[in-house]
Every structure is written in C-alpha cells, then in structure tokens.
Amino acid sequence: MGYSLGGMYAALLTGFSDSGAFDADRQRAITEYVLRQGLQGLYIGGSSGESGLMSTDELHEQQEIIAAMPAARTSHVIAHVGQPNTRDSIALAQSAATLGFDALSALPPHAYPFSDEEIFHYYAELAAATSLPLIVYEVPVRTGRPLPLELLQRILDLPNVAGIKFTSTDLFKLSMLRRSRPDKIYFFGFDEIFAGAAALGCEGGIGTTYNVLGKLYVELFKSVTASDLQKARQLQDTSQRFVEVLLQTGVIPGVKAALRAIGVDAGFARGPLIEQDNKAEQTVGAFLREEQVQPWLA
C-alpha cells in the first residue's frame, strides 16, 4: 500500500498578495513553476506553505485552486490537513478527497502537550475520515518532542495509514521503523541530508527547497538509487549550500526571494515571518547564478 506515491514532492509554497491576503494568481505562478521541474508531485498546505498562518477557509481555497490546474492533475498531490483541532483537520481531509487528491498528510497535534494516546486517537479519527491513504508525520523540530518508536508503529498499523514523512536527524530510529514496518512508504523531510536517508531506503522526499531546485533533487534521488556516490555527494553539496544561504535570509522568505530572483511572481511570506536579510533577493540570486546551479533551474 502506498508505494505508487513514492518519489520527490515539493512542499509547495503559498502565494500571498503584497497586503498579506491569499493570492490565487501568485499561487498559480508558484505552482506552475514547481510543476515544470519533473517532480513526482506536490505536497500542499504544509508548514512550508505557511499553513500555520492561514485560516481553514484559505486552505480550502488553495486546495480548490490546485485541483483546478490542468498540470496538477498529471502529478500526484498530497494534501496536508493537520490543523490545531481534529474537526478542522477532518474537514480539510474530506475536501481533499472530494477534489480528487491522491493522499493526505498531517502534523501530529502540537498546540498543547498532548499525550501519546491523544496523538494516536487523532490519527485514528483522521485516517477513518476518508478512503485516501494517510502519510503521518514525525517532525520534532516543529512539535517540540520526538514521538516514541512504539507510538509511530501503532499509528502506522492503523487502516489507511500508508506511510510517514520523517523529518528528524535520528536516522537510526528511521531504520528501526523501516525494519519493523517494511510495507509502508517512507518520505524524508530534511533537504540538506536527503542522500543519507535515501541510502537507508527512503522511497522519496518532501522538501521546501524543492520549490526552486526540484530538478536537482530528482537527480539526487536517481544518483543514490543508482549507487553513484560521487554524483550524489556533488548534488547534496549544492543543496546544502542553498540551505546555508537560506539560513541567512530565513528559509521560507528566502525561498520566495529565490523564486522572485528567477522571475516567478511568488510574493513574500506572511507576517510575522520576515526576510532576515534586507537584500535577500540579491543574496539568493547570487547563489542561483552560479554555473553549477544554473542547469537545475526549471
């Protein structure tokens, strides 16, 4: 179950107007650029899309816009639906199912220090809400704590749960999880060390920097699966240098600045996110103009 979903997915950015409102035209511009990069598909409504700063109504509208784009219909679309409460998460999940998306995903609930049982029951309710396969999520940097291995195993055993997006540096835990539940699909979420997780058997990746360098990540995954270690190292090095630049600008604001630098009308991040470098577009633009980076721009 779920292996047809494998591959590389951009954690899609969201388009906002200069006043900070959700902007359908900018959303289409971002999505069209991302879809030209040869990725397996899109992961929409997630943290990279600033979903924590958006209303449920805006996320519904974003789903509808993506679903209406002809190019998106030829790709797989995973809809992230994790909201601060179960009711809104289920509403977004059912909307995604109605619109014909391929799968769901959701952060664990983290607005409060929820117990393991509360997290388990959240995923159980969400998985039962539609017939779509569900990709659960391990992301301690966002939730404030790693989920225990035993809890992740229980969640993966739920009906309709197809796999996990694993965004943690604990690759030993990832390996133990894969050995214990080999029939599930494993996506990795840290762009800058993707090659390591791919070498351990992950079936794909979901990342923020894929919005700009999706072609590079597709080739990186191919290089690892072909055991071309030299090329994989080279491509991962380029990825890491991009992340280093983004740490100067702020990751999400910096990725939007990178898109603007190559002519995509991506707009800016929604407040309180700000560009930490007042020349962010120039900073990331200089990196993108490097000879070894140019071939990877769509």
Assess whether 231 carries a catalytic annotation: no
| Distance, CA of 196 to CA of 53 (rounded, Å) | 31
Residue 128 identity (one-letter amino acid)? A
Instruction: Give the pairing of strands 41-44 and 7-11.
Output: parallel
Nearest Cα neighbor of 81 from 52, 117, 110, 112 is 52
Could you identify the residue written with the tokens 């906002």? 16
Handedness of CA 277, 281, 282, 288 (dihedral sign): positive
Nearest to 162 by CA among 118, 123, 194: 123
CA distance 157 to 14: 32
- Angle at Cα 280 formed by Cα 277 and Cα 282, nearest 5°? 130
Q: Given 33, 122, 123, 137, which residue is catalytic?
A: 137
Peptide linkage before 109 cis (omega within 30 of 0): no
Q: How many CB atoms are closer than 10 A to CB 174? A: 22
Residue type, 141: V
State the catalytic residue, choosing from 33, 165, 186, 210: 165
Judge whether 123 counts as a catalytic residue.
Answer: no
Structure token pair of residue 253: 């604001």
Active site residues: 137, 165
